Amino acid sequence: MIPPIILDKMESNRNRYVDELLSFLKIPSVSTLSHHGADVRRAAEWVFNSLKRLGLQASLHQTERHPIVYAESPPLPDKPTLLVYGHYDVQPPDPLDEWVSPPFTPQIRDGYVYARGASDDKGQFYTYLKAMEAIMAVEGGLPINVKVLVEGEEEIGSPNLGPFLRENAAILKADAVAISDSSQFVQGVPAITYGLRGLSYLQIDVQGPRFDLHSGSFGGMVQNPIMVLTNLLAALRHPDSTIAIPGFYDDTLEPAAWERDEMASLQFDEGRLREYLGVSELVGEPGYSPLERKSARPTLDVNGIWGGFSGEGAKTIIPARAGAKVSMRLVPNQKAARINALFRAFIEGLTPPGVEVRVTELHGAEPVLISRDQPSVKAAERAIEIGFGKAPVFIREGGSIPIVNLLAEILGSDSILMMGWGSPDDGAHSPNERFFLDDFHRGIRSAAALFYELSK
Ligand code: BES
Ligand code: MN
Ligand code: MN
C-alpha cells in the first residue's frame, strides 16, 4: 500500500512531473552519433542534478564514451536494497520528415507526449525519481534503500557498463533490480517481462574494383559487389523465414509447454496489430504463433543496406563496394559469440572469387530468462496492481537490454524486475515515439508501491 498522503502529493504534482519530463526530452542525447556527444553529456548532467536535488548521494562517472550516473539514498541498515536502472540515451530520430512534431520538441497530443525517448527510456525510468521525491517529501526518507544507475550507452550495446559494474560490484550490491525499459502487453494490460532475447549485430562489407566502373566497358569482366552482397544476404534465410546458417538452431531452448499455453491465453489481437503496422499479413517461422516468434524464437534481419547509385535518373556503373547491417535475435541457450562465429564461417564459405568480403561484429547481448518464483516478483506484481489497478500478465520480450546479463554475470543478481509502463505501439526507435501520460503517472505510483511492497 502507498500511504494516502503520498498519493495526494503525487496527484497535486502531476503537471510539474510532466513539465520536468518535457525538459528532459528536449535534450537530443543520441548515443550512437558522435556529433551529439555534448548533448549526451548534458542529459547525464540533467539526471545527475535531479538525483542530487532529491537529496541522494549522486556521482557522475566518465567512461570512454558516455557518462554513467549513480546515486544512493541514505543507508537504512535493516532494510532491503533495490537497484533501479535506466538509460538516458536515445536512438537517432530519423527519418525526420515523418515526425508530426519535431523529435526533440516534445508535444502533448491526446494524452500522449510525443518525443524521441519519451517511452524508451527517459519517461519510464523518470517515474522512479518522482516516486522517491513524493515519498521523501512526506516521510523524510524511503521505506527501503534505493540505488540508482542510469547509463548513456544502452542503445549502443552498453560497451562501458561491464567494467563499471565490475569495479563497483560491492557498492552496487542489491536484493533486487528494477528496470522499466520494456512495455505493457498492450496499453491497458500491464506486464512483467521475465525473458529477453539476445542479439548478434554484424556488418558485411563487400569490396570489388577500386572505383565505380563504366558498366558497358567493364560489365562481364568483374564481380558486381551489390550482386555478391544480395546473394549472400539471400542465402542467410530460407524462404519460410528459417535461418540457413548450419548449427544456428543447435542450442535453442524450446519454449516450455506452460509458456506456450500462457502465451496462447493472452488476448492478442492480430488484426489490430496488422492494421497498426500497415501489413497485410504477419509472417515468420512455421510452427510457432506470432507471439512465440517475436519472443521465444530466434530471427535474422537485414537492418540496412547500401551501395551503388540510388540518386535521380540512371547511371550505368558497376559499384566498387556494397554493405549491409545484419542482426540476429537470440534465445536461450544460444551464445552471441558462437552465433557470430557461425555467421562468419557461413559468409566466408559462400564468398565468390573477385571480391573481398569483411564481416565486422558491432555489438551483442545474451538472451535471458528470469525465475518468476521469487518474493520480489510477487512484490512487483502487487506494486503494478496498486499502480495500474490491474494485475500484470507475464511476458517474454523480443528486445534486448545488455545490463540484464551483466547483472547476472557480474553481480550475481537473479532478482531482476522488468516492469514496463510503455506500450508496444509507443513507436520506440520509430518516428513519432510517444508515451501515454496516464501510464507515466501509473508508473510513478507503481514505483512507489514497489518500494513499500519490498519493505515488508
Ligand atoms: N528498451 C529496449 C529493449 C526492449 C525493447 C525491451 C522491447 C523490451 C521490449 C532497449 O532500449 C533497446 O532498444 N535495446 C536494444 C539493444 C541493443 C542496442 C544492444 C535492442 O533491443 O535493439
Ligand atoms: Mn530502452
Ligand atoms: Mn531502445
* Residue 143 Cα to ligand 2 middle (Å): 27
Does residue 409 have a pLDDT over 90? no
Cell numbers for 169: 560490484
Cα dihedral 279, 284, 286, 287, rounded to 10, equals: -90
Could you confirm whether domain 4-196+367-455 is CATH 3.40.50.720? no
Kind and range of the H or E run holding 439:
helix 437-455
**Which residue's CA is the nearest one to ligand 1's atom 7?**
399
363 touches ligand 1 (CB under 6 Å): yes
Residue 87 has pLDDT above 90, yes or no: yes
Neighbours of ion ligand 2 (CB under 5 A): 120-121, 181
CATH of domain 198-252+298-363: 3.30.70.360
Domain range annotation of the chain: 4-196+367-455, 198-252+298-363
Does any ligand 1 atom lie closer than 6 A to the CB of residue 90? no
Distance CA 295, CA 185 (A): 12
Specify the range with the lowest mean pLDDT, choosing from 131-145, 262-276, 327-341, 398-412: 398-412
The enclosing H or E element of 274 equals helix 270-277
In whole angstroms, give the CA distance from residue 274 to residue 241. 18
pLDDT tens digit sequence for 285-308: 999 999 999 999 999 999 999 999
The whole-number average pLDDT for the span 83-90 is 98
Residue 90 and residue 31 in contact, taking contact as beta carbons nearer than 8 Å: yes
If you write DSSP's letter for every residue of 328-393 in order, what string do you get? EEE-TT--HHHHHHHHHHHHHHHPPTTSEEEEEEEEEE--EE--S-SHHHHHHHHHHHHHHSSPPE
Pocket test for ligand 1, best of 154, 185, 197 (most atoms within 8 A of CB): 154
Residue 45 pLDDT class (50, 70, 90 cuts): very high
Q: Is the pLDDT of residue 370 over 90?
A: yes
CB atoms within 10 A of CB 87: 30
Question: CA 17, CA 24: separation in Å to the nearest integer?
Answer: 11
How confident is the model over 8-15, as a mean pLDDT? 98
Fold: same for 4-196+367-455 and 198-252+298-363:
no
% of the chain with per-residue pLDDT over 70: 100
Cell matching residue 63: 567512461
* Ligand 1 atom having least distance to the Cα of 329: 21
Residue 149: count other Cβ atoms within 10 Å of its Cβ. Answer: 26
C-alpha cell at 339: 552465433
The residue count for the chain:
456
Residues 161-203: pLDDT tens digits?
A: 999 999 999 999 999 999 999 999 999 999 999 999 999 999 9
pLDDT value at 321 more than 90: yes
Which cell is 397 given? 520480450
- Ligand 1 pocket test target in 400, 404, 433 with most atoms within 8 Å of CB: 400
Q: DSSP state, 78?
A: T
Count Cβ atoms within 10 A of the Cβ of residue 172 and give its class: 0-12 exposed, 13-18 middle, 19 or more buried: buried
**Residue of the CA atom closest to atom 15 of ligand 1:** 400
The CA 340 to ligand 1 mean position distance, Å, reads 19
> Ligand 2 centre and the CA of 350: distance in Å?
36
Condensed to tens digits (0 to 9), the pLDDT of residues 215-273 reads 999 999 999 999 999 999 999 999 999 999 999 999 999 999 999 999 999 999 999 99
Ligand 1 contact via 50 beta carbon (within 6 Å): no
Amino acid at 321: R
Indicate whether 22 pLDDT > 90: yes
Task: Supply the mean pLDDT for the chain.
Answer: 97
Please compute the mean of the pLDDT values over residues 140-146 and round it to a whole number: 98
**pLDDT at 414 > cutoff 90:** no
* pLDDT surpasses 90 at 413: no
HEC profile for 382-434?
HHHHHHHCCCCEEEECCCCCHHHHHHHHHHCCCCEEEEECECHHHCCCCCCCE
Of 80-84, 244-248, 402-406, the poorest mean pLDDT is in: 402-406
Alpha-carbon distance values, 173 to 83, 106, 405, 407 (Å): 8, 36, 15, 10
User: How far is residue 101's CA from residue 85's CA, in Å, rounded to a whole number?
Assistant: 29
Mean pLDDT over 369-384 rounds to 97
Q: Is the CB of 154 under 6 A from ligand 1?
A: yes
Res 412: pLDDT: 84
